[in-house]
Amino acid sequence: MPPLDLSIGLGTSGLDDPETCTETVVAALEAGYRHVDTAQMYDNEAAVGEGIAQSDVDRDDVVVATKVHPENLAPDDVRETTRASLDRLGLDRVDLLYVHWPIRAYDAAATLPAFDDLRDAGVTDHVGVSNFTPGLLREAREILDAPIAAHQVECHPRFRQPALRDLAAEFDHRLVGYSPLGRGEMLDDPAILEIAERNDLSPAVVALAWALDRGIVPIPKARGDHVRENLRAVDVDLPDEDLDTIDALEPGDRQIDPDDAAWNR
């Protein structure tokens, strides 16, 4: 299996209206995105699949990722609902299949072999995990036959995930950052605004350029003109002093919390 080539992606959480979701996916692919992220939990896989189908971009040039709902992580449910995801997406495989949260029906010893089975069957090319602690990540690596290709977590300039970034480098997987704009808070952050003004950039592009420079694959969700604007970050090289300033920012609170204490075990 070739390595997973992940670039900045389109996050689709919150794109609940099917028509808007499909239009956004088409616009993103036409703008140059080649990575689209969805999930069973988002209830928009069909609309995402329609956008991929309507686009002129070749399917094989797009990394399509989806995630198995925490309630569907019993082994038989993993296999059954992933195939249902493929039906909704209109695809014969996904490039990347994640455990969405290690909570509710998640049991490492039972859940993870089902992901191996799906990879062996060609249902997914790569296996990923999402919202794992360092301990749960190490446990998953011991159980899975497949290498972990990506770990998706919340990550932005005031929630920088240093421990998980270090583990991504150690374990040779990609760290994918959702909420890379802190659910909009980075757009009004005084430090980010100052750097943006000094470099004639938008705050969103500054936050995304920082992520890319630090080896994080951001998946911002956006609509309209923001889809193309966010992609500008790929070509931005922030000065070292600005990157260092961001690295020294006072950490903030995470924007998304798990709703089950089992995640903290």
Sheet of strand 10-11, all strands in order from the earlier edge strand to the far edge: 10-11, 35-37, 63-68, 94-99, 124-130, 148-154, 174-178, 216-218
pLDDT of residue 3: 72
Domain ranges of the chain: 65-249
Can 42 be counted among the known catalytic residues?
yes
* Mean pLDDT of all residues in 61-86: 98
Query: What mean pLDDT is reported for the chain?
Result: 95
Helix (H, G, I), strand (E, B) or coil at 144: coil
97 neighbors 126 (Cβ within 8 angstroms): yes
Q: What is the DSSP-derived secondary structure letter of residue 66?
A: E
Residues 6+ apart with CB under 8 A from 261: none
CA 222 to CA 36: how far, in whole Å? 12
SS3 content of the chain, % helix, strand, coil (to 5): 50, 15, 35
Q: Is the full-model pTM beyond 0.85?
A: yes
Per residue in 208-240, pLDDT tens?
999 999 999 999 999 999 999 999 999 999 999
Tell me, which fold does domain 65-249 have in CATH? Answer: TIM Barrel (3.20.20)
| Residue 184 in this model has a pLDDT that exceeds 50 | yes
Per residue in 15-29, pLDDT tens?
999 999 999 999 999
pLDDT of residue 252: 84
Q: What is the DSSP-derived secondary structure letter of residue 224?
A: T
| Residue 257 in this model has a pLDDT that exceeds 60 | no
Q: How many residues does the chain have?
A: 265
Per residue in 157-169, pLDDT tens?
999 999 999 999 9
Catalytic residue among 42, 98, 106, 178: 42
CA 141 to CA 6: how far, in whole Å? 20
CA 175 to CA 194: how far, in whole Å? 27
What the block records as the tokens of 69 is 């709902």
176 neighbors 150 (Cβ within 8 angstroms): yes
